[in-house]
Structure 1
Amino acid sequence: MMNPLVAAYISILAIVQLTACSDNNAGSMTDQNTDKDGHSAPTMATLKANSAVIEQLPFDNQQDFKDAQRGLIARLDSLVTYNAKGKRVWDMDDYQFMQYRGLNGDAPVSINPSLWRQANLNNIHGLFKVSDGIYQLRGFDLANMTLIEGDTGWIVVDPLTAKETSKVAFEFAQKHLGRKPITAILFTHSHIDHFGGALGLVTAAQVKQQGIRVIAPEGFMEEATSENIIAGTAMSRRSMYMYGKRLSRTERGHIGSGLGKGPAFGSFGILKPTEIVNHQTPVLNIDGVNIEFQFTPGSEAPAEFTFYLPDHNAFCGAEVVSRNMHNLYTLRGAKVRDALKWSGYIEQARTRFAAANIYFGSHHWPMWGQDNIQNFLKLQRDSYKYIHDQSVRLLNGGATPSEVAEEIVMPESLRTSFPNRGYYGTLKHNAKAVYQNYLGWYDANPANLDPLPNTESAGRYIEMMGGIEQVVAQAQISFDNADDDAGAYRWVAELLNKAVFFDPNHKAAKALLAKTYDQLGYQAESAPWRDVYLSAAYELRHGGPDKGIDIALMRDILLETPVERFFDTMSVRLNGPKAEGETYTIKVNFTDKDLSYVLYLENSVLYYATEKDWQLTEGKKTANSHTGLKNINATLNVKHELFIDMLIGKAGLKKTLFSDDLSIDGSKLDLLSFLSLFDRPTGDFNIVIP
Structure 2
Amino acid sequence: MKLLHLSAAMLSLAVSFDTVAATQPKPATDHTKQANNAVLEALPFSDKQDFENAKRGFIAKPDVVTIKDAKGNVVWDLEQYKTYISEEKSAPDTVNPSLWRNSQLVMQHGLFEVRENIYQIRSFDLSNITFIKGKTGWIVFDPLISPETAKAALDFINQQLGPRPVVAIVYSHSHIDHYGGATGLATADDVASGKVQVIAPEHFTEHAVSENVIAGNAMGRRAVYMYGALLPRNAKGGVNGGLGMTVSTGLAGLLVPSKEITKTGESVTVDGVEMVFQMTPGTEAPAEMNTWFPQFKALWMAENTTNTMHNILTLRGAQVRDALIWSSFLDETINLWGDKVEVKFQSHHWPLWESKNIVPYFKKQRDIYKFTHDQSVRLMNQGYTGEEISEMIKLPAELEQNWATRGYYGTLRHNSRAVYQRYMGWYDGNPANLNNLPPEQVAKKYMEYMGGEKAVIAKARDSFTKGEYRWVAEVMKHAVFANVNSTEAKELLADSLEQLGYQAESGPWRSVYLQGAYELRNGIPSAGGTQTATPDTIRAMTPEMLFDYLAVRLDPAKAEGKNIDINIDFTDLKQNFTLTVENAVLHHSKNQVKDPDVALVMSMKTMNRIQLKEMSFDDAIKNGDIKMAGDKALFSSFLAMLDDYNFWFNVVMP
Q: What's the CA shift for 1:450?
A: 0.8
Aligned 8 A contact 2:250 2:530 in 1: no
Aligned 8 A contact 1:237 1:548 in 2: no
Residue aligning to 2:61: 75
CA distance in 2, matches of 1:547, 1:125: 30
Question: Does structure 1 residue 614 correspond to structure 2 residue 592?
Answer: yes
CA distance in 1, matches of 2:647, 2:154: 33
- SS of the counterpart of 1:614? coil
CA distance in 2, matches of 1:35, 1:321: 40
Residue aligning to 2:635: 671
Residue aligning to 1:4: none
Range that drifts further, 34-43 or 440-449: 34-43
Q: Deviations over 1:590-630 (max 9, x none)?
A: 343333322111111111112xx124xx5xxxxxxxxxxx3
Q: What's the CA shift for 1:200?
A: 0.9
Q: Residues 176 and 277 from structure 1, CA distance in 2 versus in 1: closer, same or farther, beyond 3 angstroms?
A: same
Question: Does structure 1 residue 499 correspond to structure 2 residue 483?
Answer: no
Find the partner of 2:46 among 52, 60, 74. Answer: 60
Aligned 8 A contact 1:551 1:648 in 2: no
Q: Deviations over 1:321-342 (max 9, x none)?
A: 0010000000000011111110
* Matching of residues 473-492 of structure 1 within 5 Å: 473-482=458-467, 488-492=468-472
Q: Deviations over 1:274-316 (max 9, x none)?
A: 2222225433222111222111111111111101112111111
Q: Deviations over 1:625-645 (max 9, x none)?
A: xxxxx3x23233344234234
Aligned 8 A contact 1:521 1:534 in 2: yes
Question: Does structure 1 residue 50 correspond to structure 2 residue 36?
Answer: yes
Q: What's the CA shift for 1:216?
A: 1.0
CA distance in 2, matches of 1:349, 1:312: 17
Find the partner of 2:565 among 585, 592, 610. Answer: 585
Q: Deviations over 1:172-196 (max 9, x none)?
A: 1111111122222111111111111
Residue aligning to 1:644: 608
Partner amino acid for 1:409?
Answer: K
Q: What's the CA shift for 1:35?
A: 9.8
**TM-score normalized by structure 1?**
0.89
Partner amino acid for 2:440?
Answer: T
Question: Does structure 1 residue 402 correspond to structure 2 residue 380?
Answer: no
Aligned 8 A contact 1:548 1:682 in 2: no
* Matching of residues 341-420 of structure 1 within 5 Å: 341-354=325-338, 355-420=340-405
Residue aligning to 1:91: 77
Question: Does structure 1 residue 169 correspond to structure 2 residue 150?
Answer: no
Residue aligning to 1:179: 163
CA distance in 1, matches of 2:30, 2:621: 62
CA distance in 2, matches of 1:87, 1:664: 42
Q: What's the CA shift for 1:207?
A: 1.8
CA distance in 1, matches of 2:570, 2:67: 37
Residue aligning to 1:29: none
Q: Greater RCO between the two (CA within 8 Å, min separation 6)?
A: 2
Residue aligning to 2:246: 262
Q: What's the CA shift for 1:683?
A: 1.2
Instruction: Tell me the matched-pair count.
Output: 634
Partner amino acid for 1:609?
Answer: S
Question: Does structure 1 residue 601 correspond to structure 2 residue 585?
Answer: no
Aligned 8 A contact 1:405 1:432 in 2: yes
Q: What's the CA shift for 1:226?
A: 1.2
Q: Which has the larger radius of gyration?
A: 1
Q: What's the CA shift for 1:351?
A: 2.2
- SS of the counterpart of 2:643? coil
CA distance in 1, matches of 2:363, 2:302: 16
Q: Deviations over 1:102-123 (max 9, x none)?
A: 6xx6101110000000011111
Residue aligning to 1:472: 457
CA distance in 2, matches of 1:553, 1:675: 20
Find the partner of 2:518 among 526, 530, 538. Answer: 538
CA distance in 2, matches of 1:244, 1:474: 31
- SS of the counterpart of 1:539? helix
CA distance in 2, matches of 1:672, 1:257: 45
**TM-score normalized by structure 2?**
0.94
- SS of the counterpart of 2:121? strand
Range that drifts further, 581-590 or 659-668: 659-668
Residue aligning to 1:288: 272
CA distance in 2, matches of 1:42, 1:172: 40
Question: Does structure 1 residue 511 correspond to structure 2 residue 491?
Answer: yes
Residue aligning to 2:309: 325
* Matching of residues 19-30 of structure 1 within 5 Å: none
Partner amino acid for 2:48?
Answer: Q
Give unpaired runs (5+ residues) of structure 2: 1-19
Aligned 8 A contact 1:189 1:304 in 2: yes
* Matching of residues 263-278 of structure 1 within 5 Å: 263-278=247-262
Aligned 8 A contact 1:548 1:683 in 2: no
CA distance in 2, matches of 1:474, 1:650: 56
- SS of the counterpart of 1:422? coil
Partner amino acid for 2:651?
Answer: I
Aligned 8 A contact 2:158 2:164 in 1: yes
Q: Residues 36 and 413 from structure 1, CA distance in 2 versus in 1: closer, same or farther, beyond 3 angstroms?
A: farther
Range that drifts further, 298-307 or 658-667: 658-667
* Matching of residues 183-332 of structure 1 within 5 Å: 183-279=167-263, 281-332=265-316
CA distance in 2, matches of 1:513, 1:284: 55
* Matching of residues 421-436 of structure 1 within 5 Å: 421-436=406-421
RMSD of aligned C-alpha atoms? 1.9
Residue aligning to 2:319: 335
Residue aligning to 1:575: 555
Aligned 8 A contact 1:81 1:91 in 2: yes
CA distance in 2, matches of 1:461, 1:215: 55
Q: What's the CA shift for 1:548?
A: 6.7
Partner amino acid for 1:68?
Answer: A
CA distance in 1, matches of 2:162, 2:310: 36
Residue aligning to 1:623: none
- SS of the counterpart of 2:233? coil
- SS of the counterpart of 1:608? strand
Aligned 8 A contact 2:567 2:592 in 1: no
Partner amino acid for 2:53?
Answer: D
Partner amino acid for 1:127?
Answer: L
Residue aligning to 2:13: none
Residue aligning to 2:97: 113
- SS of the counterpart of 1:403? helix
- Percent sequence identity is 44
Partner amino acid for 1:670?
Answer: L
Range that drifts further, 281-290 or 527-536: 281-290
- SS of the counterpart of 2:592? helix
CA distance in 2, matches of 1:657, 1:583: 24
Residue aligning to 1:5: none
Q: What's the CA shift for 1:452?
A: 0.5
CA distance in 1, matches of 2:265, 2:191: 22
CA distance in 2, matches of 1:655, 1:479: 60
CA distance in 2, matches of 1:412, 1:549: 43
Aligned 8 A contact 1:552 1:648 in 2: no
- SS of the counterpart of 2:132? strand
CA distance in 2, matches of 1:402, 1:125: 39
Q: What's the CA shift for 1:100?
A: 3.6
Partner amino acid for 1:122?
Answer: V
- SS of the counterpart of 1:330? coil
Partner amino acid for 1:567?
Answer: F
Q: What's the CA shift for 1:550?
A: 6.3
Aligned 8 A contact 2:199 2:257 in 1: yes
Residue aligning to 2:16: none
CA distance in 1, matches of 2:129, 2:280: 20
Residue aligning to 1:556: 536
Give unpaired runs (5+ residues) of structure 1: 1-33, 483-487, 619-629
Partner amino acid for 1:438?
Answer: Y
Partner amino acid for 2:30?
Answer: M
Q: Deviations over 1:375-400 (max 9, x none)?
A: 11111111111111111111111111
- SS of the counterpart of 1:184? strand
Residue aligning to 2:599: 635
